[in-house]
Chains A and B, each alone.
Chain A
Amino acid sequence: MAPKKDPKAAAPAKKAEPAPAPAPAPEPAPAPAAAPAVDLSAVKIEFSADQVEDYREAFGLFDRVGDNKVAYNQIADIMRALGQNPTNKEVSKLLGNPSADDMANKRVEFEQFLPMLQTIINSPNKAGFEDYVEGLRVFDKEGNGTVMGAELRIVLSTLGEKMTEAEIDALMAGQEDENGCVNYEAFVKHIMSV
């Protein structure tokens, strides 16, 4: 009998071909240049004792947890309540460019808040009446002191630090005349009165 042929030796297991190296993950698009964090310990506090007490009181109002701290995402509002108009970007820089998660969960003590407030109060280029009027005048197509409410709404929702529809509605309530136009000098005076 013919010797049983050995079943063909199993073909030597092919060396698993190295999987093609996975294409390196595309580099995440560079985050828009984050403003460098501010060194808060270098900020000189120039508030009077009375002012510090006022600020402490306002700060306390925002503490809903009772730990003498407030959440990152409340800092902008406390500053606004205290008469400042920080941009969200300025606040983010003061907080060390936090993630959305940080914004919702991290908390700040009053002593850490003071240098942040001082920084905002010290910041140059604060907008005054003329700045706002000039900014809005850009949209005054007919040069008659009014801008179209509809156009202003579009600008506020598509440029800069976009506002939500709810914010815009609240802002513009009662500001448009029967033609949908806004007298922007009067509008700015109204804005600056509070």
Chain B
Amino acid sequence: VDCSTILQEDCSRPQEEEDIMDIPLDDPEANRAAAKIQAGFRGHMTRKKMKPEDKAEGEEVIKEGKGRGKELI
């Protein structure tokens, strides 16, 4: 096999290391914005689980509370 025909690896993978360094971990504004978004997401997920067609999951939401002490601090 002619080595010169070996295809180069696709370089278009997202540069995740760089992205991670961009995450503003200590920025209070970013954290406040994230918390608001997360609150909206959590609200959505709870309501979705409680819809009649998801009765089993709705039951889980109702019971789940018991195990979540740590998480909610």
CB of B43, distance to nearest CB on chain A (Å): 4
Kindly identify which residue among B33, B64, B69 contacts A77, using a CB–CB cutoff of 8 Å: B64
Contact with B along A2-22 (1 / 0, CB 8 A): 000000000000000000000
Residues of B within 8 A of A (CB): 14, 16, 19-20, 23-25, 30-48, 50-51, 61-66, 68-73
CB of B49, distance to nearest CB on chain A (Å): 9
Given contacts A80-B43, A132-B40, contact A160 B33 (CB under 8 A): yes
Q: Is A112 engaged at the interface, CB distance under 8 Å to the other chain?
A: no
Given contacts A62-B62, A87-B36, contact A100 B47 (CB under 8 A): no
Instruction: List 27 interface pairs A-B (beta carbons < 8 Å), by A numbering.
Output: A71-B66, A73-B66, A73-B68, A74-B65, A81-B46, A83-B43, A84-B43, A85-B43, A87-B36, A88-B72, A89-B35, A92-B73, A100-B69, A100-B70, A103-B68, A103-B72, A103-B73, A132-B36, A135-B34, A135-B36, A150-B14, A156-B38, A164-B71, A167-B42, A167-B45, A191-B41, A192-B40
Assess the A77–B66 pair: CB atoms within 8 A. no
Chain B residues with CB under 8 Å of A191's CB are: 40-41, 44
CA distance A81 to B38 in the complex (A): 16
CA distance A62 to B44 in the complex (A): 18
Which bucket holds chain A's interface residue count? 35 or more
Assess the A163–B39 pair: CB atoms within 8 A. no
Chain B residues with CB under 8 Å of A100's CB are: 69-70, 73
Q: Other than the known A132-B40, A151-B16, A160-B31, what 20 A-B pairs have Cβ atoms closer than 8 Å?
A: A70-B65, A71-B66, A73-B72, A77-B65, A80-B43, A85-B43, A87-B36, A88-B72, A101-B69, A103-B70, A127-B36, A127-B37, A148-B19, A154-B19, A156-B41, A159-B24, A160-B36, A161-B34, A163-B38, A192-B44
Assess the A76–B37 pair: CB atoms within 8 A. no
Kindly identify which residue among B20, B39, B41, B61 contacts A154, using a CB–CB cutoff of 8 Å: B20
